[in-house]
Amino acid sequence: MAQQIFILILLEYYRKRVSFMAKILIHSDSASSATSVSNIFIDEYMSDANGEFVKIYLYLLRLMNAPDSAFSISSIADKFEHTEKDVKRALSYWERMHLLRLEYDTEHNLTGICLIDSASRDKTGTGDDFPENETAAETPEADSVSSLEDTYHSPDDGISSVNTESFPPKRDYTRDELKQFQENDQIAELLFVAERYLGRPLSQTDMNTFIYLYDELSFSSDLIAYLVEYCVSKNHTAIRYIEATALKWAESGIRTVTAAKQEAKIHSPAYYAVMRSFGITGRNLVPSETDYIEKWRSEYGFSIDIICAACQQTIQSIHQPSFPYTDKMLSNWRKLNVHTMEDVKRLNLEHKERTKASAQEAAGPKNKFTSIGQRSYEYDELEKMLLTTNSKH
């Protein structure tokens, strides 16, 4: 039974990863049968660049001579235990230094990287170069690769700004210590689950990190398991990202799975998209409001675009945010088989035509026939008033 569950976990994991694991073709504007590094790069570029950026550039040179020169952002992140944003920042840096060119398709997805021979050009750094002592974790997200991100962005989650000095120092556990920890059934099960979620055997660094979270930060095995699930769901499998997320949770006082799930809700793209559409500022959404968003996404199955359209129409109709009113609207759209923004536009057009016809009938001589349309119009107004009144309580 357990084996079947973890097979399902793996299938779901790869389903979520498939869109982010798209292969990127790497090629060069010069031919070479060996991995070589230009002296100009070493003399004029390497000393000014962040060390992690240099590693990624050298790895790109190596990939140029691999039998299969296709890779993904996530595969590089996993190899160097970086976050994918770190990799994107490195690519953006080298593009600004004119040592590579990022290539995109018509939908602005990164599809290729062309390495430019540094020996064939002079050093032409731009005014927005990175400071000499800047680290990958501290570098602001690069705009030139922003198209790789989701359409909706949440504000900086602050992962790179965690004050690690407030936590016990991380240490390397000996083999005997690791073996002793693995004799604990909870830890053994945790490592097994983590391995299945990550889709790879755990390295010594991985196990050190998970045991550090359990032993030093006092995270429960359930919380660590959810931590891994959460990071994987965001297409992050690098242990560095998982650890940074855990430290951020610890800094925020998150010690239970329930609290972590609530934190995940309020940092989701849908959460911030709804807040923007409603014009809500200066406060976080309360649990009852985030439950509505979860309902619209999970139960109704609506995209963020459609949810935002309903929120905006709520503001246009009653001039204030109302989750119950929006829920009523989305519930009706669901019954009417709305699946795309084109469906929403069609419904809006039909509604305008009905409203116009009702208004014309109401303006004409009243009789037993026109009163039917009038009562329908009044019913819509009464429903709006009722929803407006309820939203104030």
Both 260 and 284 in a single domain?
Answer: no
Both 240 and 327 in a single domain?
Answer: no
368 or 128: whose pLDDT is higher? 368
Both 94 and 178 in a single domain?
Answer: no
Range of the domain at 329: 269-391
pLDDT at 107 over 70: yes
Mean pLDDT of 207-227: 93
If DSSP states are collapsed to H, E and C, what string results for the chain?
CHHHHHHHHHHHHHHHHCCCCCCEEEEECCCCCCCCCCHHHHHHHHHHCCHHHHHHHHHHHHHCCCCCCEECHHHHHHHHCCCHHHHHHHHHHHHHCCCEEEEECCCCCEEEEEECCHHHCCCCCCCCCCCCCCCCCCCCCCHHHHHHCCCCCCCCCCHHHCCHHHCCCCCCCCHHHHHHHHCCHHHHHHHHHHHHHHCCCCCHHHHHHHHHHHHCCCCCHHHHHHHHHHHHHCCCCCHHHHHHHHHHHHHCCCCCHHHHHHHHHHCCHHHHHHHHHHCCCCCCCCHHHHHHHHHHHHHCCCCHHHHHHHHHHHHHHHCCCCHHHHHHHHHHHHHCCCCCHHHHHHHHHHHHHHHHHHHHHHHCCCCCCHHHHHHHHHHHHHHHHHHHHHHCC
Q: The domain spanning residue 68 has which CATH number?
A: 1.10.10
pLDDT at 81 over 60: yes
pLDDT at 103 over 80: yes
Q: Is residue 131 part of a domain?
A: no
Q: Is residue 183 part of a domain?
A: yes
Q: Is residue 6 part of a domain?
A: no
Both 34 and 116 in a single domain?
Answer: yes
- Give the domain-ending residue among 241, 266, 291: 266
pTM of the entire predicted model: 0.44
Both 193 and 240 in a single domain?
Answer: yes
pLDDT in tens, 269-311: 788 889 999 999 888 888 899 889 989 988 999 999 999 999 9
Q: How many domains does the chain have?
A: 3
9 or 227: whose pLDDT is higher? 227
Q: Is residue 286 part of a domain?
A: yes
30 or 220: whose pLDDT is higher? 220
Both 310 and 380 in a single domain?
Answer: yes
- Give the domain-ending residue among 70, 105, 121: 121
Q: Is residue 37 part of a domain?
A: yes
Percent of the chain at pLDDT > 70 equals: 69
Q: Is residue 256 part of a domain?
A: yes
Both 102 and 26 in a single domain?
Answer: yes
pLDDT at 14 over 60: no
Q: Is residue 212 part of a domain?
A: yes
